[in-house]
Chains A and B, each alone.
Chain A
Amino acid sequence: MNSQEPYVTITHYKEREFYFLNYAVQTEDGFIAKEIEQFHESDKVKFIEKIRKLQSQYTNNNIVSISLLAKQFVTQDDDKNRVTARIFNDNFVTQEKIDVGDVPTTLYFSPFAILYEHYKNVLSDKLILFIGLFDRKLFMMFATADKIYQTWTIGTRGLTEKQIAYRVYKSMEAYYKISYSFADHIEMLVTDESPKLLKVLREELSMHIELSQSNIHNLLHHMASSQEIAQSSYLKPVKKIEVLARVTKSSKKEEATNRVKQEFIKNSNLSDIKIENNNNKNEGFFSGFKSLFSSNSSQSSNSNPSLLFSLLPLLIVLGLGGFFSIKNGTISNQLSQKNTQISAQKRNLALEKVSENLFKAMGKNAELKKATVSTTAVDIKGVVWGIEPLKNSLNKLYSGGKFVIKPLENFMTEFTFTSK
């Protein structure tokens, strides 16, 4: 790897049916992020191609992603059979699997690791509840400077702000029941603006909540910005550890083993584990297929061929019906979206026209202070210099409107106009 080449972090994550992609050039003074791109999941091939293109363009890179799985928690032990990442001391984020699919990824972080990294400098003897809002999920973590005591993940999709606050409160209550201690204050990191949620949380919990805001890409660029931050907290693949154990056992020379171990840690990445997992999956799939096949062959010797033959039309009908039901569902959704878009577009055109006409009517005769404009009515307030021309042009647009003038103390004249 050429040390002269810039180090680039390529970040991606999936939110609902969209992939979001960004990249940043890392410098000594921080990273310089480029424009965020979004890809619909139907454009996954394009999305992966873009990642590959960036990879070839910047050979010194890391592809970084975030785990938005709801089932992840912090434990005190490193579970060798699961995907884990050490946050600090004896605290490990643990989850069942790595869910990057076939999207290239070299570093994969848990929101809990990001929360720790973001707030590690404010940790103290006091118990603090750290909340991260990532993709409409609240990742909650009770921690002091010594350790992370408890974590919870709460989904917020479809809930009102008050319901979310109630759930946060319930989590705090549940924690109190197991530890007899209450969080001293709350720190919250949001990746999407949600001032109402913060307001409701403050009201409902009657607690001091500090807020900070950053988007997921920037948090990930930071996580991958240096060897120290990334190496300690990215989620490590499970299988690699097993392979390493085997190498250690089979090797007779301790020195050689250590060398292999170091080499592995250096090179471990999610692409590797993905391939191994796929192999395992294939093995499972083939064994399942084999058993299915063997049972089929034993069954086929007993089955009546005419019955199978008579099932064929039913299967064809079901297949055809299923196919058209799915297609019809898709086209119905698209049609309803198109209808909404057309009515939205017509309204936008009408609003644009009304607004343009209004400003044209005022021209140099008046200066606007405030106007409420809709496609059916207008309500304007401003300062007028040419009363008659303004009145005429507004009445031309909205006949029968109420035009009122009022002298101001500074020798100016205020006007208000309300359409009928």
Chain B
Amino acid sequence: MSTGFKSLSPMTKLLSVVSLLLLFLWVIPTMISYYKNEKLYNQKTAELEKLDTREVITDAKRFHTEVFKIDAETYFDKVSVISIPNNKYKVSITFVKDVLPTFHAFLRDLSLNYRVSVDDNLVYEDVNKSLQVTMIVKPF
């Protein structure tokens, strides 16, 4: 076998060595990393499914102010979305107090319906006998 290798041209030898190096130093580690990530991804998907209590399960939509407003306005009286620095949005939702359970359900499913995270700070305020909730969301 070594005689066979010696009989090859220098260029062929060089290419074979480069191929082997690439295989062991780049391809195999990338493959291993891919399969590990894939396994982890499946685990995370299962974890998220456990947290999902929605009746109709859909993929999270990209956060788009217009689409979000139109969706939210089907449940609440007034919705405003204002762009603020650091790629965040200030969302204000106004509704009558009886609709509070709907808001809680909306909040619970927010990151499942849209690719946004809510800052750990909600502000409830009484505005003319209605409740206004202000929250900061960040698309991911």
A352 to chain B, nearest CB (A): 5
Chain B positions within 8 Å of A340 at CB level: 117, 140
Known: A344-B116, A347-B117, A348-B107. A355 touches B48 (CB 8 A): no
In the complex, the answer to whether B30 meets A321 with C-beta atoms within 8 Å is: yes
Chain A positions within 8 Å of B9 at CB level: 306-307, 310
Chain B positions within 8 Å of A178 at CB level: none
In the complex, the answer to whether A374 meets B30 with C-beta atoms within 8 Å is: no
A59 to chain B, nearest CB (A): 27
Nearest chain B residue, comparing its CB with the CB of A35 = B70
In the complex, the answer to whether A310 meets B124 with C-beta atoms within 8 Å is: no
B105 to chain A, nearest CB (A): 8
| A320 interface hit (Cβ, 8 Å) | yes
Interface residues in B5-56 by Cβ distance below 8 A to A read 8-9, 11-12, 15-16, 18-19, 22-23, 26-27, 30-31, 33-34, 37-38, 40-41, 44-45, 47-48, 51-52
Q: How far is the CA of A192 from the CA of B81 in the complex (A)?
A: 10
Q: How far is the CA of A359 from the CA of B131 in the complex (A)?
A: 12
In the complex, the answer to whether A313 meets B115 with C-beta atoms within 8 Å is: no
In the complex, the answer to whether A342 meets B51 with C-beta atoms within 8 Å is: yes
In the complex, the answer to whether A344 meets B126 with C-beta atoms within 8 Å is: no
Number of A-B residue pairs having CB atoms within 8 Å of each other in the complex:
165
| A334 interface hit (Cβ, 8 Å) | yes
| B78 interface hit (Cβ, 8 Å) | no
| A332 interface hit (Cβ, 8 Å) | yes
Chain A positions within 8 Å of B107 at CB level: 348, 351-352, 355
In the complex, the answer to whether B40 meets A335 with C-beta atoms within 8 Å is: yes
Known: A317-B19, A338-B48, A342-B47. A327 touches B122 (CB 8 A): no
A306 to chain B, nearest CB (A): 7
Partner of A345, one of B23, B40, B111: B111
Known: A193-B83, A196-B85, A335-B40. A314 touches B123 (CB 8 A): no
Q: How far is the CA of A377 from the CA of B109 in the complex (A)?
A: 22
In the complex, the answer to whether B16 meets A18 with C-beta atoms within 8 Å is: no
Interface residues in A324-353 by Cβ distance below 8 A to B read 324-325, 327-328, 331-332, 334-335, 337-349, 351-352
Chain A positions within 8 Å of B99 at CB level: none
Interface residue total, chain A, C-beta cutoff 8 A: 64
Nearest chain A residue, comparing its CB with the CB of B129 = A367
Interface readout for A13-47 with B: 1 if CB under 8 Å, 0 if not?
A: 00111101000000000000001101010000000
Interface residues in B55-109 by Cβ distance below 8 A to A read 60-62, 64-67, 70, 81-85, 100, 104, 107-109
In the complex, the answer to whether B26 meets A321 with C-beta atoms within 8 Å is: yes
| A71 interface hit (Cβ, 8 Å) | no
B103 to chain A, nearest CB (A): 8
| A215 interface hit (Cβ, 8 Å) | yes
Interface residues in B115-140 by Cβ distance below 8 A to A read 115-118, 120-126, 131, 140
In the complex, the answer to whether B48 meets A345 with C-beta atoms within 8 Å is: yes
A69 to chain B, nearest CB (A): 21
| A1 interface hit (Cβ, 8 Å) | no
Interface readout for A153-164 with B: 1 if CB under 8 Å, 0 if not?
A: 000000010000
Q: How far is the CA of A192 from the CA of B89 in the complex (A)?
A: 12
In the complex, the answer to whether A374 meets B11 with C-beta atoms within 8 Å is: no
| A356 interface hit (Cβ, 8 Å) | yes
Q: How far is the CA of A195 from the CA of B80 in the complex (A)?
A: 12
| A372 interface hit (Cβ, 8 Å) | yes
Partner of B124, one of A332, A348, A371: A371
Q: How far is the CA of A262 from the CA of B10 in the complex (A)?
A: 70
Q: How far is the CA of A347 from the CA of B60 in the complex (A)?
A: 16
Q: How far is the CA of A38 from the CA of B60 in the complex (A)?
A: 12
Partner of B41, one of A35, A338, A351, A372: A338
Known: A320-B27, A344-B118. A334 touches B12 (CB 8 A): no
Please name 17 further chain A to chain B contacts, defined as beta carbons within 8 Å, in addition to the given A342-B47, A345-B52, sorted by A numbering.
Answer: A310-B11, A311-B15, A316-B19, A317-B19, A317-B23, A331-B38, A335-B40, A337-B115, A347-B117, A347-B120, A349-B108, A351-B120, A352-B104, A352-B108, A359-B100, A368-B124, A373-B122
A-binding residues in B (CB < 8 A): 8-9, 11-12, 15-16, 18-19, 22-23, 26-27, 30-31, 33-34, 37-38, 40-41, 44-45, 47-48, 51-52, 60-62, 64-67, 70, 81-85, 100, 104, 107-112, 115-118, 120-126, 131, 140
A–B complex contacts, Cβ < 8 Å, 17 sampled: A15-B64, A36-B70, A40-B62, A306-B12, A310-B16, A318-B22, A328-B30, A335-B44, A337-B140, A339-B44, A341-B117, A342-B48, A344-B140, A345-B52, A348-B107, A351-B120, A375-B120
